[in-house]
Chains A and B, each alone.
Chain A
Amino acid sequence: MRMPLSARIGLFFTAVYFGAAIFAPWIAPYGMAEIVGDVWEPISADHLLGTDSIGRDLLTRMIYGGRTTIFIATMATIISFVTGSVLGFLAATLGGWADQALSRFVDLIMSIPTLIFALVLLSVMPVDVPVLILVMGLLDATRVYRLSRAVAVDINVMDYVEAARLRGEGRAWVIFREILPNALSPLVAEMGLRFIFMVLFVSTLSFLGLGVQPPEADWGGIVKENKDGIIYGIPAALVPAFAIATLAISVNLVADWVLNRTTSLKGGRG
């Protein structure tokens, strides 16, 4: 099947951002914390995006910041996915009290807005990268849990799963051979959305000053560092905000395509 233009654009930009993140030390023109010019210098040949609030090269900051943002978002997505989908599948196939206990606990956590709960937790935890990843990943796992449980419960009542049980198949076969192949496509598409949410989440936390701490920076942190310039008409803070938006939109375009592609197959070959 041909890939639509929107998905190609999405894939291209996603690849550019990930590439820049991986090869940051080789691409970046200056050192991350190196002060190389005046405060908020305008765009020039030396500084393609100008300089920041204390005279560091903004492009360099952006490349390293993107690295941090993407790394944290990726790790948190993995934690969220592994925890959420394993528990969700287990709850769906075990049923009974285990399902009840897990589901009610998840309901409870979800009755507090995620950002608020994260702020509450971060008020007492040491704010560093592993804690951030863990808090974000575990809080978001509730959403993955809901989705994967719902998908698995739907599949679990299908006649073909019942047929496998009547044949005498064990739980491993039922989960990995009957349920998982049919649950994969919605989960993969959801993974894209969860990644976007993580990018927005970590950026928001850093923007609020509760995420990545200086001198390390991520995109949200760079917005925070440069936000005072806005009032003086200096748009440096818009650069990282714009990067966040384009990364998120690109991943969204790809996820959207994956979802459409897999649902339209209706189980055919592919």
Chain B
Amino acid sequence: MGIALKLVAQRIALSLLLLFLVSGLIFAGTQILPGDVAQSILGQSATPEALANLRRDLGLNEPALQRYISWLGNAMQGDFGTALTNGQDIISSLSGRLKNTLFLAFWAALISVPLAIFLGLVAVRYRERWPDKLISAVTLTSISIPEFLIGYVLMYFVGVKLGWAPTVSTVYADMSLGAKLQAIALPVTVLTLVVLAHMMRMTRAAILNVMQSAYVETAELKGLSMFRIIWRHAFPNAIAPVVNVVMLNLAYLVVGVVVVEVVFVYPGMGQYLVDHVSKRDVPVVQACGLVFAAVYIGLNIAADVISILSNPRLRHPK
């Protein structure tokens, strides 16, 4: 067990380092690039006095490194400062919206992951036959369709023409779970469709890879039943690649959320970020960017850790 644990610890340490560097990158991206923040907030026609005042208020006159250190120090204590546009505390707006986003992503994952694995297995079972070909055609199509097309098509037909689900997904903190679920029915469907095809195809590849290995042939030549071959021989070796696939697609889901939230006017992180990018509210953008990156890195690391832990060579070293 020693080697595996050591590797896991290494990965986690590495991801923390990565997150630290990412924070630097996000900060640098919003501070050091041309287009001074004050200038972009006030526009080209701003008077020099107004610019100077804003620069002072934003602390832009201090060296960048010093601003970064104090920003990061505060961020680590959960303080992202206040929004420029409305003066609200960022962390309190952010946490409610993060909850909403995770709620949306959770239900999308809950539906899409089992469905994708099931359909991936179907594709393997009927390899090179019509179910498999259909799946491959749908995948090719789905990576070419923007999320907002799926969103508006569903909104137009299911929401407006059929009237089966609300077209705008408004949720409040004190809504009942049932009402919330009804409100997010359409965005969850869109997110599911967005990640489903990818996940299905990658699952298919991962399982096929295992099914074509020599040890599965050995199991077949032992006269074992199909069920036992899959359950005892293929499955233990397929867990790691499939979990990897799932994690990578969940990371993709986090990004897909941004567009879907805007389409359905859902009060989540994505909409919060987009709103404040157009308003050039830099502290909010930095905070949102960091949180998105943290979730993304976290999921990628989880995929790494799971594949390390399920590797028999690392679990049982020589």
Contacts and interface: CB of A to CB of B under 8 A. Distances in A.
Interface in A95-143: 107-109, 111-117, 119-126
A126 to B, nearest CB: 5
Given A111-B22, A124-B282, A244-B149, A117 B29 contact: yes
A168 B167 CA distance: 68
A64 interface: no
25 contacts: A108-B21, A109-B25, A111-B22, A111-B296, A111-B297, A113-B251, A113-B255, A113-B293, A117-B29, A117-B289, A119-B285, A119-B289, A120-B26, A120-B277, A120-B289, A123-B281, A200-B146, A203-B146, A232-B160, A233-B161, A238-B152, A245-B146, A248-B144, A248-B145, A249-B144
A207 B259 contact: yes
A126 B44 CA distance: 10
A13 B292 CA distance: 37
A125 B35 contact: yes
B280 A204 contact: no
Contact of B140 (A113, A208, A244, A252): A252
B148 A124 contact: no
A121 B152 contact: no
A120 B22 contact: no
A223 B34 contact: no
A116 B152 contact: no
Interface of B: 18, 21-22, 25-26, 29-31, 33-35, 37, 40, 140-141, 143-149, 152-153, 155-156, 160-161, 167-168, 251, 254-255, 258-259, 262-263, 273-274, 276-278, 280-282, 285-286, 288-289, 292-293, 296-297, 300
Contacts of A116: 255, 258, 273, 288-289, 292-293, 296
A203 to B, nearest CB: 6
**Interface residues of A: mostly helix, strand, loop or mixed?**
helix
A230 interface: yes
A241 interface: yes
A230 B155 contact: yes
A125 B152 contact: no
Nearest to A114: B255
B35 A249 contact: no
Contacts of A119: 258, 273-274, 277, 285, 289
Contact of A123 (B140, B145, B280, B296): B280
A220 B34 CA distance: 27
